[in-house]
């Protein structure tokens, strides 16, 4: 419960600027930006969204018992009263409990942290950011720490799920809104966790979803073209990602094989690096030995010498993900032998080169992956190509591009798949409000028509790919990973790539 002094401290405001009365409540018991979630005694933060101004919902929040309304501008004005007669009725009962701040989203983060008891002060929170590899690195670090400390001592929040005390719940988005971020961290503290791994997206940083989180370490994986519809250009995108290093009090690990990772290392002199590069502090000694079940490689470390790592993951990009996670675990003071042993028992990452084991019964391999950009496809398909070649089979790729996102990448995706795979099937990803057929044709513009065709219905495309697979082939579905839905123009529908692949296998 937050008092007037607590609120002033959280918002960095003089106490006199915080209303003396909270609509008859003794303090603030919850924080939300969703008026539908307001309960008596809650603070309602009027956030300006992409489509609606949160102040439209302030009268409803007060009707529901909000003890405080946080705004960015003077409210209510004469125009506000004219637009909503309820305001005058509320004012007739007494002064409205309104506090004005410069940035409502930042205020939401600070208040959410405060009302949950600032849980990150009781945890070592490890943040992972970058364009590709965030989720995999998050899972790797979570599993390493859980292997060393015990499952009950580590929490995880990723684009796939939130794990508290070993129990996972589906996640709503990569980085949830601030109230849920802080609630999840509080749940981890209450469960007895000492560490938490938090996948931190550019949206999470830019929109203050992680404001109020105190980070103990940070990993930067890479930066490639993505989300430019939101950030505008690569420099702005980089500056947003850079914020994670600014907010971190402990070890900062940057991928030195990436141009932006090298830049981060220069701009933060105390940062450490990982990668294949000879100058890396944590250097992957080539070559990595790839098998159908995983890989083996040596990691040269600053204080523990050369460590032989055997993760059940494949691909040079996963060697980088493992190296970054191992570096943070070692820099956090954990025993190197325990870390090496934990690497051997890493589980599959949901939706990230996730094998569908039932396909082996039919003599081929089936995989789902989240790769949804031309760079992501290039990385993942290069590994898939190596595996298909080792087995002596073809590579069949089912993929599509999302709608209402950077359209320039669509033909680039088509070019990458045609260059690396033997067969490409363009299908529907998440078109949102766009026409799926138009998106598919834009992807097709970069593909080779000789090895590519369009099947718009995603389930049908996956059934088709499984039906055409021969012995030793590798079928890979890219773009959706382990997600359980699609965002279509007509609304959200249930869809799960692994389930459709298993349906196809059952039909063979």
The reply, when asked if residue 35 is annotated as ligand binding, is: yes
Q: CATH number of 354-507: 3.30.565.10, 3.30.110.30, 3.90.190.20, 1.10.3720.10?
A: 3.90.190.20
Does an H or E element contain 493, and which? strand 491-494
How confident is the model over 218-255, as pLDDT tens digits? 999 999 865 555 656 889 999 999 999 999 999 999 99
Tell me the two tokens of residue 341.
């042993």
| pLDDT confidence of residue 150 | 96
How many other C-beta atoms are found inside a 10 Å radius of the C-beta of residue 330?
22
- For the cut 80, the answer to whether the pLDDT of residue 347 exceeds it is yes
107 and 4 in contact (C-beta within 8 Å)?
Answer: no
Taking CA atoms, 18 is separated from 22, 34, 48, in Å, by 10, 21, 21
d(CA 15, CA 106): 18
The torsion angle over the Cα atoms of residues 145, 149, 152 and 155, rounded to 10 degrees, is -20
- Catalogue the E-assigned strands of 372-426: 395-399, 423-426
The reply, when asked if residue 200 is annotated as ligand binding, is: no
The reply, when asked if residue 132 is annotated as ligand binding, is: yes
| pLDDT confidence of residue 205 | 94
- For the cut 70, the answer to whether the pLDDT of residue 22 exceeds it is no
| pLDDT confidence of residue 316 | 85
Tell me the two tokens of residue 262.
């090298």
The reply, when asked if residue 217 is annotated as ligand binding, is: no
**Closest Cα partner for 396 from 499, 317, 281, 474?**
474
The reply, when asked if residue 130 is annotated as ligand binding, is: yes
Over residues 444-471, mean pLDDT: 98
The reply, when asked if residue 136 is annotated as ligand binding, is: yes
How many other C-beta atoms are found inside a 10 Å radius of the C-beta of residue 48?
13
| pLDDT confidence of residue 286 | 78
The reply, when asked if residue 52 is annotated as ligand binding, is: no
The reply, when asked if residue 301 is annotated as ligand binding, is: no
How confident is the model over 291-311, as pLDDT tens digits? 777 899 999 999 999 999 999
The reply, when asked if residue 135 is annotated as ligand binding, is: yes
- For the cut 70, the answer to whether the pLDDT of residue 23 exceeds it is no
- For the cut 70, the answer to whether the pLDDT of residue 133 exceeds it is yes
Q: CATH number of 4-113: 2.40.280.10, 3.10.129.10, 3.40.1390.10, 3.30.450.370?
A: 3.40.1390.10
d(CA 364, CA 255): 34
- For the cut 70, the answer to whether the pLDDT of residue 394 exceeds it is yes
CATH annotation of 118-345:
3.40.1190.10
By CB atoms closer than 10 A (0-12, 13-18, 19+), residue 487 is: middle
Name the phi and psi angles at 340, rounded to 5: -60, -40
Residue with tokens 């033909």: 411
The reply, when asked if residue 153 is annotated as ligand binding, is: no
How confident is the model over 257-283, as pLDDT tens digits? 999 999 999 999 999 999 999 999 999
Where in the chain do CATH 3.40.1190.10 domains reside?
118-345
460 and 398 in contact (C-beta within 8 Å)?
Answer: no
| pLDDT confidence of residue 229 | 54
Where in the chain do CATH 3.40.1390.10 domains reside?
4-113
100 and 71 in contact (C-beta within 8 Å)?
Answer: yes
d(CA 244, CA 221): 12
């Amino acid at each position: 419960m937050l008092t007037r002094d607590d609120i002033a401290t959280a918002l960095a405001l003089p106490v006199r600027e915080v209303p003396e009365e909270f609509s008859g409540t003794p303090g603030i018991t919850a924080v939300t930006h969703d008026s539908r979630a307001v309960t008596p005694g809650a603070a309602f933060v009027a956030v300006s969204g992409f489509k609606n101004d949160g102040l439209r919902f302030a009268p409803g929040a007060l009707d529901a018992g909000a003890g405080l309304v946080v705004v960015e501008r003077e409210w209510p004005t004469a125009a506000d009263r004219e637009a909503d007669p309820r305001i005058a009725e509320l004012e007739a009962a007494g002064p409205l409990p309104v506090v004005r701040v410069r940035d409502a989203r930042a205020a939401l983060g600070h208040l959410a942290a405060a009302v949950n008891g600032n849980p990150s002060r009781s945890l070592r929170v490890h943040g992972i950011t970058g364009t590709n590899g965030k989720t995999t690195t998050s899972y790797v670090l979570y599993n390493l720490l859980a292997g060393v400390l015990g499952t009950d001592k580590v929490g995880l929040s990723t684009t796939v799920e939130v794990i508290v005390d070993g129990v996972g719940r589906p996640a709503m988005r990569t980085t949830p809104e601030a109230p849920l971020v802080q609630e999840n961290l509080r749940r981890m503290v209450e469960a007895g966790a000492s560490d938490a791994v938090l996948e931190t997206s550019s949206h999470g940083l830019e929109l203050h979803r992680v404001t109020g989180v105190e980070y103990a370490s940070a990993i930067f994986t890479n930066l490639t073209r993505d989300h430019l519809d939101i950030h505008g250009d690569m420099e702005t995108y980089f500056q947003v990602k850079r914020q994670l290093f600014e907010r971190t009090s402990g070890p900062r690990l940057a991928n030195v094989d990436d141009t932006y990772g090298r830049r981060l290392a220069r701009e933060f002199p105390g940062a450490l690096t990982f990668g294949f590069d000879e100058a890396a502090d944590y250097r992957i000694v080539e070559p990595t030995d790839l098998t159908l079940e995983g890989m083996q490689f040596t990691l040269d470390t600053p204080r523990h010498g050369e460590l032989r790592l055997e993760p059940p993951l494949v691909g040079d990009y996963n060697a980088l993900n493992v190296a970054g996670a191992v570096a943070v675990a070692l820099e956090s003071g954990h025993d190197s032998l325990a870390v090496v042993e934990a690497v051997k028992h890493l589980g599959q990452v949901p939706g990230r080169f996730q094998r569908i084991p039932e396909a082996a019964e039919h003599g081929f391999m089936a995989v789902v992956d989240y790769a949804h950009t031309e760079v992501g496809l290039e990385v993942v398909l290069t590994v898939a190509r190596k595996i298909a070649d080792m087995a002596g089979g073809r590579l069949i790729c089912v993929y599509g591009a999302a709608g209402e996102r950077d359209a320039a990448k669509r033909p680039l995706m088509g070019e990458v798949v045609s260059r690396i795979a033997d067969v490409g099937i363009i299908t529907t990803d998440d078109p949102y409000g766009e026409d799926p057929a138009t998106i598919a044709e834009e992807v097709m513009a970069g593909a080779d028509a000789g090895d590519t065709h369009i099947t718009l219905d995603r389930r049908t495309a996956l059934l088709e790919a499984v039906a055409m697979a021969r012995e030793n082939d590798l079928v890979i579905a890219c773009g959706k990973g382990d997600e359980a839905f699609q965002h279509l123009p007509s609304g959200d529908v249930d869809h799960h790539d692994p389930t459709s692949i298993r349906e196809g296998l059952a039909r063979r």
